[in-house]
Amino acid sequence: MDGDSADGNSTDDRTAGGRAIGVDVGGTFTDVALSVDGDLVTAKVPSTDDQSEGVAAGIEKACEAAGVDPESVTEFSHAMTVSVNALLENDGARTALVTTEGFRDVLEIGRQTRPSLYDLDAEKPTPLVPRRRRFEVPERATVDGVERPVEDEAIDSLVADLRDADVESVAVCLLHAYAHPENEERVAEVLRDALDVPVSASHEVLPEFREYERTSTTVVDAYVRPAIDGYVGRLTERARDLGLPQPKIMQANGGVTDAGTVRRNAVTTVLSGPAAGVVGASATAGADADREGLITFDMGGTSSDVSLVRDGEVERTTESAIADRPIGTPMVDVETVGAGGGSIAWVDAGGALRIGPRSAGADPGPACYGKGGTEPTVTDADLVLGYVGADTDLGGDLSLDAAAARDALADLADEAGMEGPIEAALGVHRVANADMTRAIRSVTVERGHDPRAFGLVAFGGAGPMHAVSIADALDVERVIIPHASGVLSAYGLLAADETRDAVRTRQGPLAEVDTEAVDALYGELADDLLDEVSDPDAARVEYAADLRYAGQSFELTVDVERPFDPADAGERFAAAHESAYGYRADEPVELVNCRARATVSRRPPALGVDPPADPGPRTTREAVFPDGARETPVYDRDRFPADEGVEGPVVIEGPESTVVVPPAWGVRLRGDGALVAEVSDA
């Protein structure tokens, strides 16, 4: 997005003496990054059912390690999985949908897309709101204005019906409310006064056209809102008890905002944690002149997330779906697969080895955790292969049970007809890597990008252990493992800017638009955003437009400048269309949506390491690679030599993650503490 700043300096003056903490909750571990007087202290603790308990425990652990009191921390940023868990587990609020008479079934009809075209047993996902909790009101608005106002009697009847339905939240999505919200505003206002439940209105959640996507997004917001409201409330109380400031919450768009905002706009927290990871990867990986961009690869305990960073910008989208629920709000473009360290390996009916999406989680966890788990996981396979040692610190004060891991893999080998636990472990490792390789291809090859032109940034508790093997399969020649890679999502919270997005539909042929009216609309969006950010004087506002050729069904988003210039916007669209699809068309261009983003920049804490006083491997152990077992040197990450590269195979163990560099690759330490693995010249 092109834009301007309210003044010439939009960078937060975080001083060297500042203390900021970021906490990211994952499915297995809660990660903490604490910046103290220019130094970075990290911690990892098991996640808890009430995520705020794990957050408090992680903060206390990090502060104790740094020798500081939580009361001295001046900034607290947080990413969580509350909303996405509610969607994935169908564990959200008992929600009602209020819509225009005759449109009760929009949520269920959806689109004509068929993901499984030849599957005779394919079923659509069950709507989050069943038909009995979808209520109609007699009213009508068009793109030109309100034709039939909503009557007081109809709203009174609706209130009575909703009380009888005993709902926990309400989504209101009336026809064409994105253009003329008067009726929807009236209904939402009365419901908020009459009912003691949150009410999500589509003109506030997603004021743009496409009835199904707008309805789905508003319903998702209502569905997760009570959970988010309750969780953020508990988190704020725990922060207050610890003496911390009110938390800033990571949104799916890659920016943080205040806690009160996300309690009113819960849908913006979906994929909060993965977005923080991509921001952290972008901030720490560094730019390579010979690379087109970065592929970010985050492998945690439950899933793996991949995304792209191009030209220094995180890739974003407004066309995501979580658990087959379309969500139209801006978010970091992340592809997720159910393959993490805790993902369970199993054999399907055809005898094929499969990984996930079921996970052992943190409790009981993988078999090697010794907490009662018996099913084989990716982490168990890594332990049996020697990539992780029995004495390796995985975080959270866990000790590993190698015998339990071998027993679990032996049972899997028997079921799959393999020779023993080593062969089963190699199979688990290979299948997990193949799943993640496919995810990377989906964000590169399937979108016209050559992965060989990118660097791969690996992070998460398990990412650095698998990344080099995955890069080898993709012919990617460089892998970057940032300092604090095991808690990089938590570091990303410290690096993330404060960001707010706004959109408004404005449809019409680009050549015929009222230029002054469109520019005035951009001005309104900017004013609204500046009213919401913490420091309007430091905010930078950027503008974009959704454009398409006449007759097309979907749009491309391009940056635009103010004052709005249709000719310039059209040329930018043609260039973007040619880049995405390989051609320009001699067709009229249509304007669809106007977008704005306000950003208050924050300076991420600097990263760096001191050269080790006594570099060298701590020990060696046997590790098994596809070409056989090898005696492999094992380094502590803080003792890895700073002035020379090391040829693989090598294992490098840090406090939050383990790096595995296979044969035919080498690895070196960069000045900022990042490890860079490259194809060996030897």
pLDDT of residue 682: 57
pLDDT of residue 395: 56
pTM given for the model: 0.87
Residue ranges of domains in the chain: 93-227, 501-600
- Over the stretch 397-415, which tens digit does the pLDDT of each residue have? 567 899 999 999 999 999 9
pLDDT of residue 3: 61
pLDDT of residue 585: 94
Q: Span 299-325, mean pLDDT?
A: 87
Please choose, from the candidates 564, 554, 459, 570, the residue with its C-alpha nearest in 3D space to the C-alpha of residue 516: 564
CATH of domain 93-227: 3.40.50
Give the contacts of 588 (CB within 8 A, at least 6 positions apart): 509, 510, 511, 549, 550
Strands 454-459 and 478-481: parallel
The rounded distance, in Å, linking the Cα atoms of 309 and 482 is: 15
pLDDT of residue 47: 87
Residue 289 has pLDDT above 60, yes or no: no
The 10 Å Cβ neighbour count of residue 670 is 17
pLDDT of residue 7: 41
Tokens read off for 544: 């974009």
pLDDT of residue 245: 95
Of the candidate ranges 111-115, 335-339, 587-591, the one whose mean pLDDT is the lowest: 111-115
Residue 302 has pLDDT above 60, yes or no: yes
Task: Check: CB of residue 263 under 8 Å from CB of residue 651.
Answer: no
% of the chain surpassing 90 pLDDT = 71
Q: Span 469-481, mean pLDDT?
A: 95
- Over the stretch 565-575, which tens digit does the pLDDT of each residue have? 999 999 999 99
Task: Check: CB of residue 332 under 8 Å from CB of residue 316.
Answer: yes
The residue among 561 and 582 whose pLDDT is bigger is 561
Looking at the DSSP assignment, which residues form a beta bridge with residue 310? 293, 313
The residue among 16 and 360 whose pLDDT is bigger is 360
The residue ranges of DSSP E strands in 113-176, in sequence order, are 134-137, 140-142, 145-148, 169-173
Give the contacts of 464 (CB within 8 A, at least 6 positions apart): 458, 481, 485, 486, 657, 658, 659, 660, 675
The rounded distance, in Å, linking the Cα atoms of 49 and 32 is: 17
Residue 14 has pLDDT above 70, yes or no: no
pLDDT of residue 393: 67
The rounded distance, in Å, linking the Cα atoms of 185 and 201 is: 8
Residue 394 has pLDDT above 80, yes or no: no
DSSP 550-608: TT-SS-EEEEE-SS--HHHHHHHHHHHHHHHHS---SS-EEEEEEEEEEEEEEPPPP--
Residue 345 has pLDDT above 70, yes or no: yes
Residue 17 has pLDDT above 80, yes or no: no
- CA triple 259-603-304, angle to 5 deg: 65
CATH assignment of 501-600, given 2.60.40, 1.10.287, 3.30.1490, 3.30.1540?
3.30.1490
Residue corresponding to tokens 């493992």: 481
Mean pLDDT computed over every residue of the chain: 90
SS3 (DSSP) at 667: strand
Q: Span 615-640, mean pLDDT?
A: 93
Task: Check: CB of residue 498 under 8 Å from CB of residue 533.
Answer: yes
pLDDT of residue 290: 61
Of the candidate ranges 74-78, 338-342, 536-540, the one whose mean pLDDT is the lowest: 338-342
pLDDT of residue 27: 73
Residue corresponding to tokens 């919270």: 493
- Over the stretch 111-132, which tens digit does the pLDDT of each residue have? 877 777 788 887 888 999 999 9
The residue among 397 and 603 whose pLDDT is bigger is 603
SS3 (DSSP) at 402: helix
The gap from C-alpha 493 to its chain's centroid, in whole angstroms, comes to: 12
Q: Span 272-284, mean pLDDT?
A: 91
Q: What is the DSSP letter of 270?
A: T
